[in-house]
Amino acid sequence: MMQRKLVERELTSQGPSRRTADRNTRRSVTINVDESPLSWLHARGHIDDRLFDAGERLRSDYEKAQLSPRVTMSWNPVRSKGADSGLTPTERQMAAKARFDGALENAGTGLADILWRVVCGGESLSDAEKDLSWPARSGKLVLKLALDRVATFYRIN
């Protein structure tokens, strides 16, 4: 079973408080550091199951293709299950890369940026919006459009 990393942080309220008139009250908040931005959106009802599954398939292909940057050589074999079981590890990696590239191509050039940043790179929506110079609160809508196209590519109903 995977252990969750939980971090407690002390926050100082900056705005008006409903419970007290003191603006400098402190409270403790527990944050799950390992939670991905995509699962955070899904858990709070911002994206439905179909879009979440599409994002998870895209992230899975990204990891199977071993596309994340590395500092040194990785000698670990690719461990995957599923339809590619008759293939060699190299062939599975190449098939995952082809699926990943196909999904991003199907999403389109303007939508692939937000997909990669949030789903594969693990950036928060607000950070991705800032880096892409988008207006605040536009990332969720664009991410939903991109995930819808990826779900169509993966044939997720």
Does 55 score more than 90 pLDDT?
yes
User: What pLDDT sits at residue 19?
Assistant: 52
Tokens representing residue 80 in the block:
């995957």
User: What pLDDT sits at residue 17?
Assistant: 43
Q: Calculate the dihedral angle through the C-alpha atoms of 122, 124, 129, 130, rounding to the nearest 10 degrees.
A: -100
User: What pLDDT sits at residue 129?
Assistant: 94
Q: Domain-by-domain residue ranges, the chain? A: 35-71+78-153
HEC string of 47-112 equals: CCHHHHHHHHHHHHHHHHCCCCCCCCCCCCCCCCCCCCCCCCHHHHHHHHHHHHHHHHHHHCHHHH
2 vs 130, higher pLDDT: 130
Tell me: the pLDDT tens digits for 91-128? 999 999 999 999 999 999 889 999 999 999 999 999 99
User: What pLDDT sits at residue 23?
Assistant: 63
Q: How far is it between the farthest Cα atoms of the chain?
A: 66
User: What pLDDT sits at residue 124?
Assistant: 92
User: What pLDDT sits at residue 83?
Assistant: 56
